[in-house]
Structure 1
Amino acid sequence: MRYATKTKLLSGTALLAVGFLSSAVLAQDVTIAFAADELGATSYNPVTSSNLNSATSLIYDRLVEQDADQSYHPHLATSWEEAPDGMSWVFHLKDGVTFHDGTPFNAQSVADWIPDFTDTENAYLVAAIESVEIVDDLTVKLVMSRPEPNLLYNLSSTFMGVPGSAAYEEMGDEFGVSGAVGTGPFKLDSFAIGLETVLVRNEDYAWASDLSENQGVAHVGQITFREVPDQSTAFLELKTGGIDLLLGVPTDFLEILKVESNIAIIQMPGTGINYMPINVTSAPFDDIKVREATGLAVNQEAIVASIYNGVGAPAHNFLIGSLPEAQVDPMLNVTYDVDKANTLLEEAGWVMGDGNVRTKDGTPLSVKLFTQNGTEFTSLTQVIQAQLAEIGMEAVITVFDSSTIRDEYKNNRHQLAVRGYDWNNSDILDWFFSGKRLGYPNISMWEDAEGQRLNDVAMEDSKNSDERIANFKAYHEYVLSQHLFVPIYQPTKNIAYNSDRVNVPDPVRGTRFRSQTVLDMTVVE
């Protein structure tokens, strides 16, 4: 794999080519604050990173794009054909595309790129591709080891932005940190981990997807993406002009923002849920009755009404409601039932003690409840704490930044945590519950032979879309039966921007705020 062969930096000339340019502020610059769930990225290497953000899609283009209605649209690929047996795909590539360093994008680029996923956390995205055959300079054939009905979704993922193979080879481990080369409408100018990312316009860009009206160079000259961990601070900066656009606006800020004459709000359908993973290896949660009781203590409807003012929807399983795999046996959905929760805890030997905290063999039912910083998550975690107290469980809250909390997960120092994910495909079950991913992202620390079998069938043995839905539904139902997490809330995606500074297209095309939207953004003169 080329990624592991070199660790040297690009030469000064090459660095200029990838976008490490003058720090002079360009005209038509825009400042954007990341959403809370996008904080903490340590690299813009889409092949190896497990945590990417909205800026990534501006640096790299993808072969395929997905719209909000789940339809797929050509981008670097102009068209494709799947063999009737699903054992090969042919992709026809766009002519005239170049990477930021001036090298051409062609069939060889695809052939060089796919093998780089080997032995990475993202290898599952291309696991069904056995080989890449170059038909001609602008045509590739993906030979499959098995049918992969999810291939177009995978190719539209942020993790499958296509990097420039020459820079990937030369930069090695520094790719995505000291520099990044894609074909996208913006180039990486600077990246200060945990602080900000500065992108500058790609003046040669002329190959947008049909999700953008603007097919050429972006109207915006420079974008500074800032990491603002405290959402209240980001909210205040939007009002006072420090930020032009805020991704992931907390729902409780919406009513306040609506009265601001220069603030516009766009609401998009949600593509994830907020939930509470349960570490099944940490007592008392190694007892399935305690895990089930914990889930029954959470009142999802009350949370939507009180915290989110009725915006969004309660979550009762692990998948967003628009996915067919979410339509499970109703008996497996997790719903509030405090009486049953108390009964289960009594059966598990936990009796109510002094101070309304249960005990067992002299040990109080006191647990660690982790969350990441940000107004929305801390407020939600406090409500969860109060609801758990109603069944005699004392939850002690600790707030971490997004990077530190991942270290806690990986080192198995957690019990409960309030968090969210953003992914509109059922393979998120593999990401968070496969025994091959213990620590992170498998925060539940769940390793189960039957669960892994069902996971592997869903991921690898589905011959078509109908089979894939059935297999993932069966896997989802088994996961639910093991009480590995507590579903809480399915949010909307809220974007707010200063209309005195920028114009943002509404509705936003695509499932997320990505390059197709930024290409159509303009700065108010």
Structure 2
Amino acid sequence: MFHRMRSNFLKGAVAAAAILVSGAAFAGDVTFVLGTSEVGTPGYDPVKAVNLNAATQLIYDRLVEMDVHRKYHPHLAESWEEAADGMSWTFHLKKGVKFHNGEPFTAASVAGWIPLYAGTESAYMTASIEKVEVIDEHTVKFVMKSPDPNLLYNLSSTFMGVVEPKAYAALGDDFAAKGAIGTGPFKLESFTVGQETVLVRNDDYTWGSDISSNPGPAKFDRAIFREIAEDSTAFLEMKTGGVDVMLNVPIDYRAELAKESDLTLLTRPGQNVAYFVMNVTKEPFTDIRVREAAAKAINQKEILDSIYGGVGAVADTFLISSLAEANVDPKYKIAYDPARAEALLDEAGWVKGADGIRTKDGKPLQIQLWTQSDSSFRRLTEVVQAQLKAVGIDAPITTFDSSMIRDEYKKGGHQAAVRSYDWDNADIIDWFFGGDRLGYPNVSMFNDPKAEELRTKAMTGSKTGEERTANFIAYHEYVLSQYPFSPIYQPVDAIAYNNTRIELPKYEETPFFSSLAMDIATKD
């Protein structure tokens, strides 16, 4: 899954893939600037990746697609049936589909692809599948270890883009940057980590999903994805015509972009949660009282109003509020409570000094607060810093380039950070708090035996959707009760585009997983 962040890839991926416009002629290039959270994506291997960027959705198709209403649509699978007991799924595959290297897409392709996930970070997505049986050339059966009410969601994920198994085996680690062989409407032409990805149209493509009006081929020649680490630089590129579409427009620049007559700004409810996370293995956060105090020092409403102008919503759990699994018992929701925070720190033996900073045994209550270099994170982190100081916690800020910070988390030396993720499924809790993912993506280093039991039940112990929701609520509530983080903010998604070059539909009506920008056309 940022997933995960899957850490944070999805905001850009959704925005890019959901661009649906009119026009018939092939014409030129469309240039995107990726969101800063996507800068530094190491390659295009959906099987092994822990983060992907927007271009991934144009390279790989999926068996099924999910639209904005969370309904599933056929794609590489034209239909499917689930057994009454949930112990098997049969998928009928589209005919005439080819991978970028000319290999036909068949049931054997699926049988070779699914086992690739074993032992990877995304293994949970296929863990419920016991084996894959080839019924005939275009029919495949998943025999299940146990029912999986989340299977279609997993199959619609960018992390389950279908790769060509023979090329995957032959290229090994080079597949991510040099191969990237899928069935999608664009092929990888070039890729430089942290700089740019260039995709070229797949002229053979005629099998787009029914979410788009155009089944293929695409209506423009190349998709160029630029990686710019600084929001201000990306903004200037958008304003001066260096790019056609800016994904994930930061709040700081939305008003100014909206004033430009040749630019159009579109927003919709997001799938993102910003949060303050604590490393539970590092002092002072080994003490749950300090964690709870820090969590309840965060004034979510003040942040919403002062930084985001009231646009968006406060967050009080780890999930976006539209998910059923966010409906926890109110006693577990985390909200601003400075009196409780002060009392907990007093109880833990941290005494407030004349300068307002608490001390214990002669040591100040000081933590290193990490953040990313883009302006929106810095502004948010500065406010969090001030709110922590108000209850006696000194929090000097350390800033990392967006492309480097994940590697720093993996080293495990951090104490706390301000982060965000973009994902619309409760399994994001598993991704960020699972005990087998310490460092990154589990930045909190949370590894609790009871949580692991609840996690297993939530991820693999449900026969129905209703049971899965109940199990995830129990898991969610327990994680909340241990205060490894504090939720802050649920933003809206925003993109900007050059209306003299391209057209876009109403952004809020676009699907989460479209059929890969198949209706993009330029005005040239």
Look up the equivalent residue of 2:517 and give its one-letter code. V
Q: Given that residues 130 and 144 in structure 1 are in contact (C-alpha distance below 8 angstroms), is that contact kept between their aligned partners in structure 2? A: yes
Q: CA deviation at 1:305?
A: 0.9
1:40–1:51 CA contact under 8 A, matched in 2: no
**Aligned residue number for residue 364 of structure 2:** 364
Paired amino acid for 1:97: V
Alignment partner, residue 81 of structure 2 = 81
The one-letter code of the counterpart of 2:288 is I
Paired with 1:260 and 1:317, the residues of 2 have a C-alpha distance of 37
1:75-474 alignment runs, 5 A limit:
75-474=75-474
Residue 187 of structure 1: CA displacement? 0.4
Q: CA deviation at 1:402?
A: 2.8
Q: In the TM superposition, what whole-angstrom CA distance separates every residue of 1:229-271 from its partner, at most 9, and x where no partner exists? A: 1111111110100111000011232221111111112212211
Q: Give the conservation status (yes or no) of the 8 Å contact 2:57–2:516.
A: no
Q: Residues 27 and 521 of structure 2 are in contact (CA less than 8 Å); yes or no, is this contact kept in structure 1?
A: no
- Answer whether contact 1:214 1:520 (CA < 8 A) is retained: yes
> Can you list the C-alpha shifts for 1:120-165, whole angstroms capped at 9, x where unaligned?
1111110000000001111000000000000000000000000112
Query: Which letter does structure 1 place at the counterpart of 2:65?
Result: E
Aligned-partner residue type, residue 521 of structure 2? T
C-alpha separation in 2, matches of 1:475 and 1:368: 29
Matches of 1:508 and 1:28, distance apart in 2: 27
- Structure 2: how far apart are the matches of 1:192 and 1:207? 29
Task: Say if 2:504 is the partner of 1:524.
Answer: no
1:8 is aligned to none
Query: Is the contact made by 1:59 and 1:188 (CA closer than 8 Å) also made in structure 2?
Result: yes
Q: After superposition, give the CA deviation of every residue in 1:25-61 in whole Å (9 maximum; x if it has no partner).
A: x951111011122222101000001110110000000
For 1:486, give the aligned amino acid: S
Instruction: Please tell me the residue identity of whatever aligns with 1:388.
Output: L
Q: Residues 517 and 256 of structure 1: is their aligned pair in 2 closer, same or farther, counting only changes over 3 Å? A: farther
Superimposed CA distance per residue, residues 66-86 of structure 1 (whole angstroms, 9 cap, x where no aligned partner)? 111111111000011000110
Aligned-pair Cα RMSD in Å: 1.2
Q: Which residue of 1 aligns with 2:480?
A: 480
**2:385/2:394 contact within 8 Å kept:** yes
**How far apart, CA to CA, are the structure 2 residues paired with 1:84 and 1:168?**
34
* Structure 2 Cα separation of the partners of residues 508 and 103 of structure 1: 37
Distance verdict in 2 for CA 1:62–1:138, change over 3 Å: same
Query: The residue matched to 1:366 in structure 2 has which SS?
Result: coil
- Aligned letter for 1:455? R
> What is the number of equivalent residue pairs in this alignment?
499
CA distance in 1, matches of 2:158, 2:30: 22
Q: Quote how far apart the aligned CAs of 1:482 are.
A: 0.2
Q: Is the 8 A contact 1:504 1:522 kept in 2?
A: no
CA deviation digits over 1:332-364, x for unaligned, max 9?
111111111111111111111142111011000
Q: For residues 111 and 505 of structure 2, what CA distance do their matches in structure 1 show?
A: 35
Residue in structure 1 matched with residue 13 of structure 2 by the alignment: none
Q: Which has the higher contact order (CA 8 A, sep 6+)?
A: 2
Paired AA for residue 48 in structure 1: K
Contact 1:29 1:222 in 2 (8 A): yes
1:489 aligns with 2:477: no
CA distance in 2, matches of 1:310, 1:255: 14
Larger mean Cα displacement after TM superposition, 435-444 or 422-431:
435-444
Q: Is the 8 A contact 2:325 2:473 kept in 1?
A: yes
Alpha carbons 2:41, 2:194 under 8 Å: kept: yes
Mapped partners of 2:492, 2:402: distance in 1: 21
- Rounded to whole Å, the distance in 2 between the matches of 1:348 and 1:102 is 65
Distance 2:218 2:505 in 1: 14
CA distance in 1 between counterparts of 2:37 and 2:193 reads 15
Following the alignment from structure 2 to structure 1, what is the Cα–Cα distance between the partners of residues 47 and 381? 33
Distance 1:235 1:179 in 2: 32
Shift of 1:166: 2.2
Q: Which shows bigger deviation, 176-185 or 151-160?
A: 176-185
User: Aligned residue for 1:499?
Assistant: 499
Any idea what the Cα deviations from partners look like across 1:495-524, whole Å, max 9, x if unmatched? 110111111232366554x55362111111
* 8 Å CA contact retained: 2:59, 2:182: yes
Query: What secondary structure sits across from 1:235 in the alignment?
Result: helix
Q: CA deviation at 1:310?
A: 1.3
Residue 503 of structure 1 aligns to a residue in which SS?
Answer: coil
Could you list the runs of 5+ residues in structure 1 that have no partner in the other structure?
1-25
> Any conservation in 2 of the 1:505–1:520 contact (CA below 8 Å)?
no
- 1:173-200 deviations in whole A, cap 9, x for unaligned? 1101122110001000000001111011
Separation in structure 2 between the aligned mates of residue 69 and residue 310 of structure 1, nearest angstrom: 25
Q: Is the 8 A contact 1:271 1:511 kept in 2?
A: no
Tell me the alpha carbon deviations over residues 420-464 of structure 1, each in whole angstroms, 9 at most, x when there is no partner.
Answer: 111100011110111111111111111111000000000111010
Q: Report the residue type matching 2:211 in the other structure.
A: L
Query: Aligned with 2:384: secondary structure?
Result: helix
Does the residue aligned with 1:199 lie in a helix, a strand or coil? strand
CA contact (8 A) 2:40 2:403 kept: yes
Does the CA contact (< 8 Å) of 1:293 and 1:341 recur in 2?
yes
- Residues 58 and 515 in structure 1, CA contact (< 8 A), matched pair in contact too: no
Do the aligned partners of 1:268 and 1:492 also contact (CA within 8 Å) in 2? yes
SS of residue paired to 2:404: helix
C-alpha deviation, 1:277, in angstroms: 1.3
Contact 2:167 2:181 in 1 (8 A): yes
**Is the CA contact (8 Å cut-off) linking 1:211 and 1:509 kept in structure 2?**
no
Verify the 8 A CA contact 2:33 2:228 in the aligned structure 1.
Answer: yes
Name which of structure 1's ranges 200-209 and 169-178 shifts more when overlaid on structure 2.
169-178
The one-letter amino acid of 1:320's match is: I
Per the alignment, do residues 511 and 292 of structure 1 end up closer, same or farther by CA in structure 2, a change over 3 Å counting?
A: farther
Q: Which amino acid aligns with 1:284?
A: P
